[in-house]
Amino acid sequence: MTGKLPFEALSVETLATRLATNEALCATIGKGPWKVREVGDGNLNLVFIVEGASGAAVVKQALPYVRLVGDSWPLPLKRSFFEYHALTRQEARAPGSVPAILHFDEGQALIIMEYLAPPHIILRRALIDGRQLPNIARDIGLFMARTLFRGSDLSMQTKDRKADLALFADNVELCGITEDLVFSDPYFDAKLNRHTSPQLDGLVAELRADRDLKVEAQRLKHIFAANAETLLHGDLHSGSIMVTDTETRMIDPEFAFYGPMAFDVGMLLANFWMSFFSQRGHEQNGKRDAMRAYLLGVTNETWAVFRAEFSHLWRTERTGMLYQKSLFEDQGDILASEQALDHVLHQIWSDLLGFAGIEVHRRILGLAHNADFETIEDEDLRASCEAKALKFGRHIAVNRRQILGMDEVNNLAALIERESRI
């Protein structure tokens, strides 16, 4: 298959014939016969696992529409191009944190990549199952600090960064999904919205009439759209991470673009807090108290690791045009450099709380829900978990400038979670 043929979606039936001569694939898994399975359970793409005599690989192909909704919502194939380029940059900036790329075909919008075999599992699934993974906070904290710092003007040469900014600026439609689905749709009666009804109807009406919340969501959208600070993963939720007990890999960066550092961190932490609030709905087979404590510990540790690594890179790799060393360290003024670092970290903290709060809202009020809540079959129980998460999200989004540290946030989460009545 070459990039010159017109685009055609692969299928389980056609994949082996169409990729039979692909050198990278044959070198990795051997020549056919191959076993092909379609395993995509995301909202946008086709994902195949292809197994041959000497191994397996993943073939991911974009479709010209949103899979979740169908061809009434067209979506450009070029998201595959952005995913490919994001993966190459993430691998360079945080080696070993993403699947290896074997082949990219721009015309067919497909990426052939390393198969993360079982026991790899999607992080969201592992957390629903109540598994306490020992390394995720460290691995994800390091990934975020390294990719976000090294993709910014704190590290890159300005000419290179501006060229990259121009490249990713064309990821318009994927940014548009986030701009609508995350920042706006949850706060009015948008067409594709849904929520657990009638249980949440009252609270949803209250949130949509909440002037402070609505203004804050739009201030955050403004930051998201206008602060092209670094190359983001762009969709760093627990469904975009694969784990074993010892390994953590980030996948699916098709939403990559230059935006605020706090967006990736906020979205990720929101997913840990949503997992925390959903645990009550998965308790049938035993108490989840330890799991809840683990999840709050993970938010704490992720943020601590992020801060520590970001600070380390600030002190050792600050080679870009921002906060240049000639103004600080080169004049012996280490204190001023540390003061500037504190300021940058504080800004990320305050913004990440906002992004986290509204990410929680959109997964309960908008189009794209998550399995943490959706797999709770008892609708009253699900609504009770969701209502607590919504209240938490509202508080951290609206009060983000006054919240001083992670303990305050996690104490609030624990308090809301223990409330018997919402």
DSSP letter, residue 231? E
**278 φ, ψ (degrees, to nearest 5):** -85, -15
Query: Binds 368, which of Mg ion, ligand SR1, none (CB < 5 to 8 A, cut-off by type)?
Result: ligand SR1
Closer residue to ligand SR1 in complex, CB, 216/359? 359
Question: Could you give the CA distance from residue 26 to residue 22 in angstroms, rounded to a whole number?
Answer: 6
Query: Binds 181, which of ligand SR1, Mg ion, none (CB < 5 to 8 A, cut-off by type)?
Result: ligand SR1
Question: Could you give the CA distance from residue 383 to residue 289 in angstroms, rounded to a whole number?
Answer: 20
Question: Could you give the CA distance from residue 282 to residue 128 in angstroms, rounded to a whole number?
Answer: 7
Q: How far is the CB of 95 from ligand SR1 (least distance, A)?
A: 25
- Which residue in the block uniquely carries the two structure tokens 């600030």? 314
Q: Are 312 and 286 contacting, i.e. CB atoms less than 8 angstroms apart?
A: no
Closer residue to ligand SR1 in complex, CB, 178/248? 178
Q: How far is the CB of 184 from ligand SR1 (least distance, A)?
A: 12
Q: How far is the CB of 177 from ligand SR1 (least distance, A)?
A: 5
Closer residue to Mg ion in complex, CB, 68/205? 68
Q: Does 43 bind ligand SR1 (CB under 6 A)?
A: yes
Q: How far is the CB of 193 from ligand SR1 (least distance, A)?
A: 12
- Of the candidate spans 119-127, 176-184, 268-276, 281-289, the one that interacts with ligand SR1 by CB under 6 A turns out to be 176-184
Query: Binds 66, which of Mg ion, ligand SR1, none (CB < 5 to 8 A, cut-off by type)?
Result: ligand SR1
Question: Could you give the CA distance from residue 414 to residue 408 in angstroms, rounded to a whole number?
Answer: 10
Closer residue to Mg ion in complex, CB, 313/368? 368
Residues 221-280 touching ligand SR1, rule: CB under 6 A, are 235
110-114 sheet: strands from edge to edge: 35-38, 45-52, 55-62, 110-114, 101-105
Task: Give the angle 261-136-55 at the CA atoms, nearest 5°.
Answer: 105
Closer residue to Mg ion in complex, CB, 196/238? 238
Closer residue to ligand SR1 in complex, CB, 29/243? 243
- Which residue in the block uniquely carries the two structure tokens 């959903």? 278
Among 297, 305, 317, 316, which residue's Cα sits nearest to residue 407? 297
List interacting residues with Mg ion (CB under 5 A).
42, 252
Q: Does 47 bind ligand SR1 (CB under 6 A)?
A: no
Question: Could you give the CA distance from residue 191 to residue 214 in angstroms, rounded to a whole number?
Answer: 18
Q: Which residues bind ligand SR1 (CB under 6 A)?
A: 42-44, 66, 68, 177-178, 181, 235, 368
